[in-house]
Amino acid sequence: MSNAIVWFRNDLRLADNPALQAALEGGFTPVPVYIHAPEEEGDWTPGAASNTWRHHSLQQLDASLRARGSRLLLRTGPSRQALLDLIRETSAEAVFWNRKYEPATQPRDADIKQALKANGLQVESFNGALLFEPWTLATQQGGPYKVFTPFWRNALSQWRMPALLEAPASMPPVPAGLASQALDAFKLLPRLGWETGFWEHWQPGEAGAHEALEVFIDGALRGYHSDRDRPDRVGTSLLSPHLHFGEIAPWRICAELEQSRTAANDSDMDAYIRELGWREFAYHLLHHFPHTTQHNLNPRFEHFDWAKANDVQLHAWQRGRTGVPIVDAGMRELWATGTMHNRVRMIVASWLTKHMRQHWLHGARWFWDTLLDADLASNTLGWQWVAGTGADAAPYFRVFNPVTQAQKFDPDAAYITRWVPELAGLPLPARFAPWLHADLARRLAPTYPAKPMIDLAAGRDAALDAYKRSAPD
């Protein structure tokens, strides 16, 4: 059998893997390889938290391959040279991979494909990550969408799910004598071990992804439509890191959800699939507007009067010491678990971009380094949406009141109390806004900030004033 390189990237699974399937169906011996080349990701090299997940996911992928008679080769970049070396070592006749969509990696992959084809190799790339690739949907005028609802309406009208592909039961061994680096050589794990608490909540790898889906269908799916906004409840799928690293295909999720559809969970299921649609929309925008990873999509904000970067305030926000309990709870959850409830993500982002009036990039960079599911498309869309500077965005003048948000979505302050335990001794109303109960707070929560770093009313007014000044002439 002739050999084919299967280049793994953010598709760390064996089931529903079009590139691997193409190699097997073509009669090739797959030579699986992962190439560590973070410098090729441009301005957004992977962050510390996501690197820890990648380490464990690569371990799991290698174990799955070895259980089937193969193994995962680990090489360092540059990617083009690493592939050329492996092609020479294996006399490979073909190279297969699943596509990435980031602004830095798309042109890299195109150049590699062109160079390899020029050398006479069969080279094919596939969709292994999305329900709808960014260039497959367009407005009636032929352009990209900037509003989600018509985007999703068009997507649903073209809904065609690929057939599910189970992981191969066995695979031929890779050619003998091929060198592979030790995973530890990539230095993906932090030296101080600050991430150890993550694994109380997560199981990286393909098996973990399938287990998370089963748990979601059996549990949080029922009531998802309403509970997904409740950080005090387990009301979400917890699938986002698995999706980001390609440990499960989105069409596999949809297929298994549909198998479980009933009259009782119909609206919940549609609500979840719509959230998958937001992920698709994010990739659509990233492809068509690659500059938005650094710049506002809405040009009105290019000269917006953001406040001067305040390192003291930014550090307090990052560490959950703003004096606003729901904001601090979210930031502490992020630090402890590598994730944050989506409703709370919106609240902490609104606080940063509106009350603090800091440029959304400060938040996007922090999330990029601390989120296990740090995804360039979703991170960019989310921050610009909250900041009011992007596509289909919440208007900038919509300023979340963090106290009323907490009262609405965390009515018993259970989430706040879990992550800001120094407030546990306060009566319930005081846990939402302890500065309004100053005497009690001094006695019962003396270590918590006495007041918010920014007055809620003053911060809101300053944000709205800055917005008025940014209006076009």
CA distance 338 to 201: 9
Distances (CA, A) of 44 to 263, 367, 404, 448: 43, 12, 35, 35
- Is 275 among the catalytic positions? yes
Contact 313, 388 (CB under 8 A): no
* Residue of 246, 171, 252, 251 lying closest to 12 (CA atoms): 246
User: What is the rounded CA–CA span in Å between residue 441 and residue 435?
Assistant: 7
Helices (H) and strands (E) in the chain, counts: 20, 5
Active site residue 360: yes
298 given a catalytic annotation: no
What is the token pair recorded at 460? 């809101």
Marked catalytic residue, from 152, 202, 366, 383: 383
Q: Shortest CA distance to 385 belongs to which of 439, 356, 342?
A: 342
Q: Distance of CA 335 to CAs 45, 202, 317, 426, Å?
A: 20, 14, 12, 24
What tokens were used for 147? 């509003």
Query: Which residues, at least 6 apart from 348, have a Cβ–Cβ distance to it below 8 Å?
Result: 317, 327, 330, 331, 340, 363
Residue appearing with tokens 């989105």: 250
Catalytic residue among 154, 275, 335, 422: 275
166 is catalytic: no
Q: How big is the chain by its Cα radius of gyration, in Å?
A: 24
Is 258 known to be catalytic?
no
**What is the token pair recorded at 129?**
């990550």
Give the residue from 9, 42, 101 showing the smallest Cα distance to 377.
Answer: 101
Quick check: is 383 catalytic? yes
Q: Which of 127, 256, 306, 422 is catalytic?
A: 306
Nearest to 248 by CA among 6, 8, 12: 12
How far apart, in Å, are the Cα atoms of 355 and each of 142, 433, 460? 39, 16, 6
The encoded tokens of residue 445 equal: 């929560």
CA–CA distance, 109 with 123 (Å, rounded to integer): 11
First to last CA, the chain: 69
Q: Residue 91 burial (CB < 10 Å; 0-12/13-18/19+)?
A: exposed
3-state secondary structure of 114: helix
Catalytic site residue from 7, 360, 366, 419: 360
Sheet strand arrangement including 29-36:
73-76, 29-36, 3-8, 94-98, 122-126
Query: Which residues are designated catalytic?
Result: 275, 278, 306, 342, 360, 383
